Amino acid sequence: MNSIQLLQKQGASVWLDFISRDLISSGELKQFIDQGVTGVTSNPSIFQKAMCEPSAYDEPIARTRKTFPDLNVEGLYEKMAIHTIQAAADDLLPVYRSSAGTDGFVSLEVSPRLSASTVQTVEEARKLWKAVGKPNLMIKVPATPEGIPAVETLTAEGINVNVTLIFSLPQYNAVAQAYIRGLAKNPQPAKVASVASYFVSRIDTAIDKLLEKTGNPDALALRGKTAVACCKMIYRSFNEIFYGEAFAAQLQRGARVQKLVWGSTGTKNPRYSDVLYVEEIIGKNTINTIPLPTLKAFLDHGKVRPSVTENVAGAEIILADLKKFDINLDSVTDQLLTEGVVAFVQAYDQLIESLKARCATK
């Protein structure tokens, strides 16, 4: 039994934080599924890397341009992304069916350019949901102030949502409540699924820099601990919300809990374990979206234990200690949300420019 399968015994899942046409056509995705991977996520940065490879997507781009000669570059990207997502969804459909619709999802993100508009986000999500046409699709919506109301609307309409770019506990709580409000308006709540994606490693990257600026040995001792501590707080809130009174009525209607996704779990600091953000946040109803290098490392030497519920009191102390060094966690997470949206917009714009250049030379 490999480490992914051992993790599944703890009630957790592994999703691959990468997608490409070659990954699917080569059969590599199916191999990962055989090893225990149960989902796939995508975002503008992932598609930017995948589609901008020199030979990647040449054939489908040429075919699509021939079939739709008046299609603009944004439309071309959308068709390429939809085709890739559909193929991944097909590979994952047996997982979706065997889990009774609780796993086996592939995610496609709305355009990051729409993150400041609730109305446009909802419209784009509806369009993508219809275009992909797969029951195991999740539409990714950023947890911006404008995105969170969209989550409620889409959930009410029966559209599966992966709420992304969550960096703080207040942000997470708002997302969970939006999902619950949406379920309350949905006549068939048992048919909709949602996950809330909390971004992990970026927390430590930002906080560690502030700790290092102090030069204080006690501050330096906190490096690499904030992100896991935050995850423990998020997980505690998840259990309080979805196994408390707030969700009881929806459970009786057959609704599913909104599972927690740990995103951005590749270790950025080489001084830390390459599987730090997998091993230390394992718990029931969690999903770890793992980039390829981290997934291979975890398969090679990952250890499994129910870690996310360990020493929660200690996690509270770590977060409280940040204040001793004038580090405002809320300010940091607000900035990370802003930077996350900007990074996705930049990746999307780079992708579009790359496709424009490719089309101009063929």
CATH number of 237's domain: 3.20.20.70
State the CB neighbour count (10 A cutoff) for residue 193: 25
SS3 letters across 128-176? HHHHHCCCCEEEEEECCCCHHHHHHHHHHCCCCEEEEEECCHHHHHHHH
Model confidence at 214, pLDDT cuts 50, 70, 90, reads very high
Q: What's the domain range around 324? A: 3-360
Asked whether the beta carbons of 282 and 305 are under 8 A apart, the reply is yes
Q: Is 140 designated active site?
A: yes
Q: What is the pLDDT of residue 137?
A: 98
Q: Whole-model pTM?
A: 0.95
pLDDT in tens, 258-279: 999 999 999 999 999 999 999 9
DSSP code of 216?
Answer: -
| pLDDT bracket for residue 362 (50, 70, 90) | low
- Residue 3: CB atoms within 10 A of its CB come to 22
pLDDT at 19 over 80: yes
Indicate the burial class of 301 (C-beta count within 10 angstroms; 0-12, 13-18, 19 or more).
exposed
Catalytic residue among 9, 130, 134, 140: 140
**Percent over 90 (pLDDT), the chain:** 84
Lowest mean pLDDT among 56-60, 154-158, 310-314: 56-60
d(CA 331, CA 264): 20
Task: Give how many domains the chain has, as a whole number.
Answer: 1
| Residue 246 binned pLDDT confidence (cut-offs 50, 70, 90) | confident
What is the identity of the amino acid at 32? F
pLDDT in tens, 42-73: 988 888 877 777 666 778 888 888 888 888 88
| Section 211-232 average pLDDT | 97
Per-residue confidence (pLDDT) for residue 340, from 0 to 100: 94
